[in-house]
Structure 1
Amino acid sequence: MKLSRKQVSIFPTQHGFLFLAILIAMLLGAINYNNNAGFILVFLLGGMALISIFHSFKNLVGIEIGYRSPLPVFAGQTATFPIHIKAPATGGRSITLSLMPQDTLFVSIQREKTLQMGILARERGILHPRSLTLKSVYPFGLFTFCTLLPVTATCLVYPQPIPGPHGTAKSRLLPDGEEETSRQGADDFQGLKQYQPGHSINRISWKALSRGRGLFIKDFTAEDSPCVMLDFDVIPGRDMEFKLSRLCDMILTAEGRQMEYGLRLPGFVKNPARGKSHQHHCLKALALFNLQDRLKGDPQ
């Protein structure tokens, strides 16, 4: 997104109003006393103010703004939005950026720079900043040049984990209710099997790949490998947000213990697995669960 002259608005600052008031008073005094030196000083200062407007426009116009996707965070943490700013000329640009509704930064850009601007994620869901404001009072601070830009980047906000007892930690029930007799684990080597997207790269058989046999993974079994199914309806209580926060903590705990776990929400089922990708999909389901209904009930 490149700034054009039409996107920039101008209005005097407090110092600008004071400067204009003094300039008018000096002009009236020069007219009253017919003082040529007063006229020269008024026109000199007024000309400098007019020239500063040109330089102020040049300070903002032509700047390119690019947004990058932020990493997901948990509710209560600060979401960091990377914003890439590129100036068209080699000269420095002094501007102030405000990512609504919170973060404000003053930056000087020589050529290009990537800024990390943070917003507190107060609740789960999708965090979408309202706007990005660019301001400049360069060079004399007499006029404020401002532009309001839409923000295209969004941040996924997981529920805030709430620790508690994990009563289902030893459950080995699968989604269909059948008990498992053998699970993939890291105890007994069973052989090689064809690699499928989603398998851990740590289990890839590099020897088989170097021999030109193709991409295979090492298959292990463990009879007592734990597997859990985390169920929304099993968690006691009626507070939906509390249940989601408890499930969030259970997912993090299960992943930290290298357990296979699944997730069951009303209208959503994720089969047991493990790994960072599986954890992200489960946490994303919690973040977006019943989100539309909650937004409709929000008076704001």
Structure 2
Amino acid sequence: MRLTKGGGLYVASTLLLGVSAVNTGNNLLFLIVAAMLSFMAVTGVLGWLNIRGIVLSVRLPDEVYAGTETLLPVVAENGKRFLPSFLIRVTLMGNSTSFTLLERKRPQNAALLLSFRERGPLKLPDATVSSPFPVNFFVRATAVHLPVEGTVFPAPRPMLVPAAGGKPDAGEAVSAAASGYDGELAKISDYRGGEPLKLIHWRLSAKHEVFKVKELTATAAEPLFIDLDAVPGRDLEERLSYGTFLVNRLARSGRPVGLKLGERVVPPGTTRSHRLKLLTELALYGKG
């Protein structure tokens, strides 16, 4: 619990009147102080009941990249038997989202825009549920555990991409935002965290609980192995970033792609699950 500016003035006034009542013996002052303390007690109980029983659930996108902002869907539900909850704020890793009213047994959806610094295994910290209800004198808060684990992929770094004949595209430096999205519309699917924001179907997303994105067709080509030791870069992290970009660019353009990490070899494939497997291998490489 923390005091707001108004709460600090209220507490200071209560203490001042209490000291005055003791020094003067004035019964009226004692009654006023008692009323003010009672008000603090009642609002404290109401504030505690307001944040009690809030249940949070999040769904980590399939693709989370280091240093890249990711939309994290958040579902808040009021698990209390009778009372609604008001002015609820959910804070996670310094980012917040708010719910004006949480009615009993009626979940509401929101989203947090988060960014993770490093690649590797991801375990979300506890979220903080807070509220200034019923009066903005005190902000009460409680921690809510989020049993969500995942993997943060290396930050993709653009580089020249080998063409079907094994040579880089002539003079073409492609960006991650445009990777593999130059075909016709194939289908609409759920947002997974790796798609550029320009492909989000905003009008359709407004009608569903999760964001919807457009998936475009791609053209298949010859298989290719990515040997991490042969990827250019000043250090391991830079080579992993280039490797991540290559995996996404080649796989999304329909090119069967495999991976060689030291003695470990992953055969080429074209499915989305195969691409995620390659990205996971890159994310966990050297992490023990």
1:29 aligned residue: 20
1:228 aligned residue: 224
Residue 272 of structure 2, aligned match among 239, 255, 276 = 276
Over 3 Å counting, the alpha-carbon distance change for 1:17 and 1:67 in structure 2 is: same
Quick check: 1:79–1:118 contact (8 Å CA) kept in 2?
Answer: yes
Name structure 1 gaps, 5 residues minimum. Answer: 1-9, 173-223, 293-300
Residue 136 of structure 1, aligned match among 121, 126, 131 = 131
Residue 92 of structure 1, aligned match among 53, 67, 85 = 85
Quick check: 1:228–1:262 contact (8 Å CA) kept in 2?
Answer: yes
Indicate the percent of aligned positions where both proteins have the same amino acid. 25
Give me the TM-score of the superposition, normalised by structure 2.
Answer: 0.70
1:161 aligned residue: 156
3-state DSSP of counterpart to 2:148: coil
Shift of 1:238: 5.0
3-state DSSP of counterpart to 2:7: helix
2:250 partner amino acid? A
Does residue 105 of structure 1 match 2:101? no
Over 3 Å counting, the alpha-carbon distance change for 1:98 and 1:232 in structure 2 is: same
Q: Figure out how many residues of one structure are paired with residues of the other and give that number.
A: 231
Residue 109 of structure 2, aligned match among 110, 114, 126 = 114
1:51 aligned residue: 42
1:271 partner amino acid? P
Does residue 145 of structure 1 match 2:140? yes
Quick check: 1:227–1:272 contact (8 Å CA) kept in 2?
Answer: yes
Does residue 252 of structure 1 match 2:253? no
Quick check: 2:57–2:146 contact (8 Å CA) kept in 1?
Answer: no
Shift of 1:251: 1.7
| C-alpha distance in structure 2 between counterparts of 1:168 and 1:244, whole Å | 20
Quick check: 1:170–1:227 contact (8 Å CA) kept in 2?
Answer: no
Shift of 1:225: 4.7
Over 3 Å counting, the alpha-carbon distance change for 1:138 and 1:287 in structure 2 is: same
Which string of whole-angstrom CA distances, capped at 9 and with x for unpartnered residues, describes residues 28-54 of structure 1? Answer: 334545544433322222211111111
Give me the TM-score of the superposition, normalised by structure 1.
Answer: 0.67
| C-alpha distance in structure 2 between counterparts of 1:28 and 1:160, whole Å | 60
Over 3 Å counting, the alpha-carbon distance change for 1:80 and 1:169 in structure 2 is: same
Quick check: 2:120–2:287 contact (8 Å CA) kept in 1?
Answer: yes
3-state DSSP of counterpart to 2:136: coil
Give the RMSD, CA atoms, in angstroms.
Answer: 2.7
| C-alpha distance in structure 1 between counterparts of 2:164 and 2:267, whole Å | 16
Name structure 2 gaps, 5 residues minimum. Answer: 168-219
2:181 aligned residue: none
Which string of whole-angstrom CA distances, capped at 9 and with x for unpartnered residues, describes residues 67-123 of structure 1? Answer: 3333322222123333322112452332222112x2123322322212312321223
2:121 aligned residue: 126
3-state DSSP of counterpart to 1:170: coil
3-state DSSP of counterpart to 1:73: coil
Residue 81 of structure 1, aligned match among 72, 75, 84 = 72
Quick check: 1:168–1:228 contact (8 Å CA) kept in 2?
Answer: no
| C-alpha distance in structure 1 between counterparts of 2:48 and 2:233, whole Å | 58
Structure with the greater alpha carbon radius of gyration: 1
| C-alpha distance in structure 2 between counterparts of 1:225 and 1:106, whole Å | 47
1:243 aligned residue: 239
Over 3 Å counting, the alpha-carbon distance change for 1:283 and 1:22 in structure 2 is: same
